[in-house]
């Protein structure tokens, strides 16, 4: 059987495969986000007076909490391994096909930093504006106690988020949707809406901001065929948010919460 015949045989299965991969990963998160947002909207307090906590503590016992945090990061990356396995016969081949390698470090770091800078400030302003309009919850980037391991774990969590989201939502999903012969507009819309949907637990501003980010990232990948700059950009954004919040003085945090 030729490669073309094999692709024609397996193509009808891609829809089912996409559904399984997403329901094991970010599609599942999207469903929970819808439920969480519904719970917030039907609560006895306005949405803007509620909080959405990222990187929440799981146990009051420091080393048990550390264990849970590391296990959560590890198991969250399993769908990435599954996606790479499904895309190619080897993880290395799939990663290279998606542009996840070290062949162009200056390019990846430069574009990653540029995308992070271009998206970061407008994104903050959008979320702040949504909070003032009452359509977003107050976001708490870190709910961890100030243990010695908090900052390293937050950095790992940021890297995990970046790898998981960019490999699944951009690299894997766009590759499979292109194989299904969808138009670029539909592919970009699907990737962007998925990215926004699993942030709905934060509110409508977070959905819109992440959907816009999804459009930019999808366009970038379709043009360059490289996921690595997107991983760099996403990592920088999350590390800045998570670690910056963890290291801010309590007086600053109180001011931010009061001003919000």
Residue 246: per-residue pLDDT: 75
Condensed to tens digits (0 to 9), the pLDDT of residues 95-142 reads: 999 999 999 999 999 999 999 999 988 888 888 799 889 999 999 999
Backbone phi, then psi, for 55, in 5-degree steps? 50, 55
Residue 248: per-residue pLDDT: 65
Condensed to tens digits (0 to 9), the pLDDT of residues 6-54 reads: 555 567 689 999 999 999 999 999 999 999 999 999 999 999 999 999 9
Nearest to 139 by CA among 4, 36, 249, 233: 36
| C-beta separation of 131 from 205 below 8 A | yes
| C-beta separation of 22 from 194 below 8 A | yes
Q: Is 257 exposed, middle or buried (0-12, 13-18, 19+ CB in 10 A)?
A: exposed
The average pLDDT across 55-82 equals: 97
CA 58/CA 202 separation, integer angstroms: 19
List the domain boundaries for the chain: 3-259
Residue 183: per-residue pLDDT: 97
Query: Does 251 score more than 90 pLDDT?
Result: no
Sign of CA dihedral 31, 33, 34, 40: positive
Average pLDDT, the chain: 91
- Lowest-confidence range among 75-79, 88-92, 176-180? 88-92
The average pLDDT across 61-76 equals: 98
């Amino acid at each position: 059987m030729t490669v073309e015949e094999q692709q024609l045989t397996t193509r009808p299965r891609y829809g089912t495969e996409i559904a399984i991969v997403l329901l094991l990963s970010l599609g599942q998160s999207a469903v929970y986000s819808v439920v969480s947002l519904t719970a917030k909207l039907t609560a006895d307090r306005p949405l803007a007076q509620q909080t959405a906590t990222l990187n929440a503590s799981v146990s009051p016992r420091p080393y048990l909490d550390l264990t849970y945090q590391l296990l959560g990061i590890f198991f969250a990356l399993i769908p990435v391994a599954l996606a790479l396995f499904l895309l190619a016969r080897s993880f290395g081949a799939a990663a290279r096909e998606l542009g996840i390698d070290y062949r162009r470090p200056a390019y990846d770091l430069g574009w990653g930093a540029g995308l992070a800078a271009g998206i970061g400030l407008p994104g903050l302003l959008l979320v702040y504006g949504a909070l003032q309009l009452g359509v977003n919850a107050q976001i708490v980037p870190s709910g961890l106690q100030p243990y010695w391991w908090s900052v390293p774990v937050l950095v790992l969590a940021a890297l995990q988020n970046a790898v998981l989201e960019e490999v699944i939502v951009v690299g894997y999903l766009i590759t499979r949707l292109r194989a299904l012969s969808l138009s670029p507009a539909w592919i970009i819309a699907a990737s962007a809406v998925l990215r926004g949907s699993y942030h709905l637990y934060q509110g409508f501003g977070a959905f819109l901001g992440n959907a816009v980010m999804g459009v930019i990232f999808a366009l970038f990948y379709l043009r360059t065929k490289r996921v690595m700059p997107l991983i760099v950009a996403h990592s920088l954004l999350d590390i800045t948010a998570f670690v910056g919040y963890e290291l801010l003085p309590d007086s600053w945090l109180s001011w931010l919460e009061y001003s919000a």
